[in-house]
Amino acid sequence: MKRKLETSELIFKVISYTLLCVFSLACLYPFVYAISASISGADAVDYGKVVLFPKDIQFEAFAQMFNDNMFWNSYSNTLFLTFYGTIWALFVAILGAYALSKRRLLFRRFFNFFLVFTMLFSAGIVPQYLNYLDTKAVFNAAGITDDKWLVVIAMGMAAMNIILLRNAFEGVPSEIEEAAVVDGATEFQVLSKVYIPMSKSTIATVALFFAISRWNGYFWARQMISNSNEHPLQVFIRLKLEYYTDPEAMAGWNAVYSSDSVIYALIVCSIVPILIIYPFIQKYFAKGVNAGGVKE
Amino acid sequence: MTSKAADFLVYDEAAKVYRENPEQAVRDDVEKHSWKHIGLTILKDWRLYLMLVPMLLVFLLWRYLPMYELLGCFKVPDEVKPVADQLFSGFSYFKRLLVGGAGDSMSTEFWRALRNTFLLSFYGLCFGFPMPILLALFFNEIRSNIVRSTCQVLTYLPKFMSTVVMTSLVTMLVKQGSLTSSMGVISQALSGLGLISEEVAMKGLLNNPAFFRAIYQISGVWEGAGYDSIVYFAAIIAISPTSYEAAQIDGAGKMSQMRYVVLPSILSTIVIMLITRIGSLLNVGYEKVLLLYNTNTYQTADVVSTFAQRYGLEGAQKGLAAAAEMMNNVIGMLLVISANTIARKASDTSLY
């Protein structure tokens, strides 16, 4: 049975549809523009003729970037940091969260406070910097000259993610664990055979959060990684932006593509991989938001 | 009632000597055994406690040890000595930041940074906070699944960029114009519509302190509103349709339904999100500011973290910078705790 809409309802619907469409298009537009500008000719970009669709199509800007070894280098560095960083963070977080989820753990309140306090108060940039410098000295003394390992081991741990995991582990029914213990499972077996399989989706969400923060990491990577061969993608993009928007450096620019197109091409290249995997990770994303919203 | 030391030794008037307290001996015995008991429990359950070790180490080494470096706020800087051995200098840095002195602009800059930090988050609270709620309400109105999913995916899109990519895009879209290259496309559109004059647009909006806050907030809404609406939308679709029907039978129009059905149902979510927001009032995403600001816009853009970054990491005033950020973070911590306490008292919803 179709009900007739009341006037107020109709007005609200019209407003919703219009505003949502406008906002969605506004969200999309910068990307479309970036793609168009990255493949448009020099004159079209420099004289501001590109508005929505590309003009005088060229792919030289992309070609120039793909021929740049540093670009591939930075990409592989980012993959390195994301891969090992996520594994290390998950390792630490899962073990810690499992222990914290046990009611029989002594000093449980103290350990919880130990975690939560880091969410409330942070020492700040300068003390952290000095601390990382000390860590770096220790790493170098131990023969690890590759600063990437410093970023992997020392950075990117988040108390919030451990608490998410802990809450998930607390939700696992204790009868199953008791059954495993009766069958002679050790603590590690209980964790790997019972807890991890039973909270797979939370672990995936947390892994995603870690991976994203690694992929996006910029500030500390730029501060602590001294060798430019080891810079991750984000630092590479920023350095390129600083270089290509410097009028003095660009004074003698003469190519079939605009210097702006290089930046846009870089932006497009850094977004595309995420867009490709987005459909697969979307559900964990939404779940993580809900889990993060309500805590005990 | 009495303190422990007094418990332990009792003054005997007759013998004029201190005597050991037998009760304290019992207490000591219990305590010794309880530590023994704790030790035994840990030993028996060593696997569980071993699992805690990596986490404790990571947090101790890279979260708590930096707090030890905060001692530098009270010390005379010295490149060679570790912070504990440096000379004590009192509260000179704090005094310099808060009160300042003749011919010293440091305190003006610090107060400006503190004000900017507060204002950036406060405007974020005013404009950035309601947007996701509005979006979720609008999403709820759209009955067609295809249209809604498309809109949702499009609005989530900007969230998948890193801060660097997002700020690069913003920088390019509002960049300055010159003889050889035109200004950014958003600047073109704004000056074409007559919202800003052409000279202003030519100079670049990011070089103009008057526009920094607007750019920061609008890019924030653009980036986060869609993604943040997920949690509200989830709360809205959880409302049972019978609630709407009951309200309609009672003669409620659309607005009354909003007021009496939808809002009460998502109120607890809103409160939790609001606490988080208020708690982080003094915790601006410094990376974004750092990537967007430049020497021309310090007036409105410089926040405490970037102030500390500039003087502590680029300059050599480490103690001063650490002191500035410590004040900011301590106030921030008090804000979180008080927001949380108030929320717990008022509505039984709290974060911690």
- Write down the domain spans for chain A: 68-293
Q: What is the least distance, in Å, from the CA of A225 to any CA of chain B?
A: 14
- Count of Cβ atoms closer than 10 Å to residue A141 Cβ: 8
Name the fold adopted by A68-293: MetI-like fold (1.10.3720)
Residue B132 touches chain A, beta carbons under 8 Å: no
| pLDDT on residue A8 | 75
Select the residue of A102, A125, A293 nearest B325 (Cβ to Cβ). A125
Percent of chain B residues topping a pLDDT of 90 = 23
What is the sign of the dihedral through the CA atoms of B272, B273, B276 and B282? negative
Euclidean distance between CA atoms A179 and B347, whole angstroms? 40
| pLDDT on residue A6 | 72
Euclidean distance between CA atoms A172 and A168, whole angstroms? 7
Annotate B110-122 with b (16+ C-beta within 10 A) or e (fewer): bebbbebbbebbe
A268 to chain B: closest CA residue? B165
Residue A275 touches chain B, beta carbons under 8 Å: yes
Question: Among candidates B169, B156, B163, B164, which has minimal Cα distance to A265?
Answer: B169
For B150-160, how does the pLDDT look when each residue is reduced to its tens digit (9 = 90+)?
888 889 888 88
Are the beta carbons of B208 and B294 closer than 8 angstroms? Answer: no
For B259-271, how does the pLDDT look when each residue is reduced to its tens digit (9 = 90+)?
888 888 888 888 8
Select the residue of A27, A121, A263 nearest B226 (Cβ to Cβ). A27
Q: Going by C-beta distance under 8 Å and a sequence separation of 6 or more, which residues neighbour residue A54?
A: A35, A36, A37, A39, A40, A44
A223 to chain B: closest CA residue? B313
DSSP label of B157: G
Residue A270 touches chain B, beta carbons under 8 Å: yes
ipTM of the complex: 0.87
Annotate B49-85 with b (16+ C-beta within 10 A) or e (fewer): bebbebbbebbebbbebbbebbbbbbbeeeeeeebee
Is residue B11 helix, strand or coil?
strand
Phi-psi group of B317: left, alpha or beta (phi > 0 → left; psi -120 to 50 → alpha; rest → beta):
beta
Euclidean distance between CA atoms A6 and B154, whole angstroms? 30
For B288-322, how does the pLDDT look when each residue is reduced to its tens digit (9 = 90+)?
999 999 888 999 999 999 999 999 888 888 888 99
3-state secondary structure chain A: CCCCCCHHHHHHHHHHHHHHHHHHHHHHHHHHHHHHHHCCCHHHHHCCCCCCCCCCCCCHHHHHHHCCHHHHHHHHHHHHHHHHHHHHHHHHHHHHHHHHHCCCCCCHHHHHHHHHHHHHCCCCHHHHHHHHHHHHHHHHHCCCCCHHHHHHHHCCCCHHHHHHHHHHHHCCCHHHHHHHHHCCCCHHHHHHHHHHHHCHHHHHHHHHHHHHHHHHCCHHHHHHCCCHHHCCHHHHHHHHHHHHCCCCCCCCCCCCCCHHHHHHHHHHHHHHHHHHHHHHHHHHHHHHHHHHHCCC
Hey, what are A286's tokens? 């939404």
pLDDT at B57 over 90: yes
Euclidean distance between CA atoms A172 and A186, whole angstroms? 17
Residue B181 touches chain A, beta carbons under 8 Å: yes
For A59-75, how does the pLDDT look when each residue is reduced to its tens digit (9 = 90+)?
988 998 899 999 999 99
Q: What is the least distance, in Å, from the CA of B67 to any CA of chain A?
A: 5
Euclidean distance between CA atoms B69 and A136, whole angstroms? 16
Q: What is the pTM of this model?
A: 0.85
For residue B291, give Cα distances in angstroms to A218, B78, B280, B322: 10, 31, 20, 21
- Cβ within 8 Å of B, A 15-54: 15-17, 19-21, 23-28, 30-31, 33-34, 45-48, 50-51
A259 to chain B: closest CA residue? B181
Burial of A143: CB neighbours in 10 Å, binned 0-12, 13-18, 19+: exposed
Residue A160 touches chain B, beta carbons under 8 Å: no
Burial of A227: CB neighbours in 10 Å, binned 0-12, 13-18, 19+: exposed
- Cβ within 8 Å of A, B 59-88: 59, 61-70, 72, 83
Q: Going by C-beta distance under 8 Å and a sequence separation of 6 or more, which residues neighbour residue B123?
A: B213, B217
Kindly determine whether residue A187 and residue B52, on different chains, have CB atoms separated by under 8 Å: no
Hey, what are B122's tokens? 């406060």
Chain A residues near residue B291 by CB distance under 8 angstroms:
218, 238
Kindly determine whether residue B52 and residue A294, on different chains, have CB atoms separated by under 8 Å: no
pLDDT band at B230 (very low <50, low <70, confident <90, very high): confident
Beta-carbon pairs below 8 A across chains A and B: 262
| pLDDT on residue B303 | 92
Q: Tell me the residue length of chain A.
A: 296
Q: Which residues of chain A have pLDDT under 70?
A: 1-5, 285-296
Are the beta carbons of B77 and B86 closer than 8 angstroms? Answer: yes
Burial of B40: CB neighbours in 10 Å, binned 0-12, 13-18, 19+: exposed
| pLDDT on residue A101 | 92
Euclidean distance between CA atoms B253 and B125, whole angstroms? 30
Q: Tell me the residue length of chain B.
A: 352
A8 to chain B: closest CA residue? B254
Q: What is the least distance, in Å, from the CA of B165 to any CA of chain A?
A: 6
Are the beta carbons of A256 and A42 closer than 8 angstroms? Answer: yes
Chain A residues near residue B54 by CB distance under 8 angstroms:
91-92, 95-96
Hey, what are A30's tokens? 């910068």
**Average pLDDT across chain B, whole number:** 85
- What does the pLDDT average to over B202-206? 86
- Cβ within 8 Å of B, A 80-119: 91-93, 95-96, 98-100, 102, 104-106, 111, 114-116, 118
Kindly determine whether residue A124 and residue B181, on different chains, have CB atoms separated by under 8 Å: no
Euclidean distance between CA atoms B179 and A47, whole angstroms? 9
Q: What is the least distance, in Å, from the CA of A287 to any CA of chain B?
A: 9
Residues facing B17 on adjacent strands: B12
For B9-40, how does the pLDDT look when each residue is reduced to its tens digit (9 = 90+)?
767 777 777 777 777 777 777 777 788 888 88
Residue B137 touches chain A, beta carbons under 8 Å: yes
| pLDDT on residue A287 | 62
Are the beta carbons of A46 and A37 closer than 8 angstroms? Answer: no
What is the sign of the dihedral through the CA atoms of A71, A75, A80 and A82? positive
Compute φ and ψ for B332, nearest 5 degrees: -60, -45
Are the beta carbons of B171 and B206 closer than 8 angstroms? Answer: yes
Compute φ and ψ for B17, nearest 5 degrees: -135, 165
B160 to chain A: closest CA residue? A274
Euclidean distance between CA atoms A116 and A50, whole angstroms? 50
| pLDDT on residue B1 | 40
Chain A residues near residue B42 by CB distance under 8 angstroms:
106
Euclidean distance between CA atoms A257 and B274, whole angstroms? 47
Chain B residues near residue A275 by CB distance under 8 angstroms:
160
At CA B147, angle to CA B145 and CA B149, rounded to 5? 65
Phi-psi group of A144: left, alpha or beta (phi > 0 → left; psi -120 to 50 → alpha; rest → beta):
beta
Select the residue of B62, B182, B305 nearest A131 (Cβ to Cβ). B62
